[in-house]
Amino acid sequence: MEPAELRRAVEAARATAVELGLRVDDVVVVHDSDRVALRLLPCDVLARVAPPGQLADSAFEVEVARRLAAVDAPVGGLDPRVEPRVYVRDGFAVSLWIYYAPVAAEITPAAYADVLMRQHAALRRVELDAPHFTDRAARALREVTDRERSPDLSDADRDLLARTLGEVSAAIGADRSRDQLLHGEPHEGNLLATERGPLFVDLATCCRGPVEFDLAHAPDGVAEHYAGADPDLFHRCRAVDWAMFAAWRWRRADQMPDRDRWRTEGLALVRASLDRRGVG
C-alpha cells in the first residue's frame, strides 16, 4: 500500500480491535501488499486489512475459514474472542485472526505433501461456491492481450503467455472429473510452521480445479510425495501458474519489488514447465 493508505489501514485495524474490547498499544506490519497483515499488541491478534473494493474477497475468505475450521482442516483460524466476520471501517475490510508465532521447523517435501493432502480432504467435506481456476487464468489473459496494460511484452513472449493462459488452461479445464475445492495458492508463503504444526493461511484464493493446480504452487519435490498426482497434468498446471504470475509482473501498473527479474524468471519457468510435458 502507499504510505498514506497504509497509515489509514493501520488505524482502521487498531480502532476496530479496540471497539471490540481488545487492547492495542502497538501495531507491527507483518506483510504489506495490496492487502496488509498487522500484528496487534498486546492482544496478539493478526488483523488482515483489505482496501475498498475487496470487501467481497475478505468476506469469502472468512467464510472459507469458518467452514474449514468446522472440519478440523490445517488452517489458521479466526480469533475466537470476536465475532467471526468482516468489519468495515473507513472503507477498509478488517478481519481478525489468531496470531501464530513462527517456529524454526523445516517443512520437508513429504510433510508439505501430507498437510496438503489433509487440506484437500477437508475441502472435499465443504460445500461452497467458488470460481474455477480457469477464471483466474482468463483475467490474466486479458492483461496479456491488452497491449496498453502490458506494453513491454515482446510479441514472442506475449504469444507464449497467451497460448498458455488460453489453450493450455482450456485443455486442463475441459476435463472437470478431477475437480474439487482447492486452496488456490498453497505456496511456501502461505504455509506457516507453528507449534500446532503446518497451517495454511490466505484462504481468499480458494477455487475449483484438479489437485495438481495446488501442487503447481508448492515447492519442488512435493508432488512426488502426493499419492495419485498426475505428472503430466502437474506440469501443465505449473505452466499456467507461472504464466499467471508472469502476466501480473508484465502489467504496466505492477509494483512488485524486483519486478524486472521476476518478469524474466516467470517467462523462463513457463517455458521449462511446458518443455517438461513436451508441448513447449
- In the predicted structure, residue 240 carries a pLDDT above the cut 50: yes
Consecutive H or E run containing 180: strand 180-182
Tell me the whole-structure pTM to 2 decimals: 0.92
Model confidence over 167-208: pLDDT tens digits? 999 999 999 999 999 999 999 999 999 999 999 999 999 999
User: Tens of pLDDT along 123-138?
Assistant: 999 999 999 999 999 9
Identify any residues that bridge with 196 across adjacent strands, giving them in sequence order: none
CA pseudo-torsion sign 93, 98, 99, 104? negative
Q: What is the mean pLDDT of residues 36-58?
A: 95
For residue 54, the tally of other CB atoms under 10 A from its CB is 18
The two beta strands, 180-182 and 207-209, are antiparallel
133 touches 209 (CB < 8 A): yes
Mean pLDDT, rounded, for 19-45: 95
Q: Please state, in angstroms and rounded to a whole number, the distance separating the CA atoms of residues 145 and 158.
A: 7
C-alpha 230, offset from chain centre: 22
- Average pLDDT over all residues of the chain: 95
Residue whose grid cell is 504489506: 32
Q: At what angle do helices 133-145 and 231-249 cross, to 10 degrees?
A: 40
Per-residue pLDDT at 280? 41
Strands of 24-32's sheet in order across: 24-32, 36-42, 45-50, 92-98, 87-89
SS3 content of the chain, % helix, strand, coil (to 5): 45, 20, 35
Q: What is the pLDDT of residues 104-119, one digit of tens each?
A: 888 999 999 999 999 9
3-state secondary structure at position 31:
strand
Q: What mean pLDDT comes out for the span 218-236?
A: 96
60-74, 141-155, 174-188, 264-278: segment of lowest average pLDDT: 264-278
C-alpha cell at 52: 475498498
Are 208 and 182 within 8 A, CB to CB? yes
End-to-end CA gap in the chain = 37
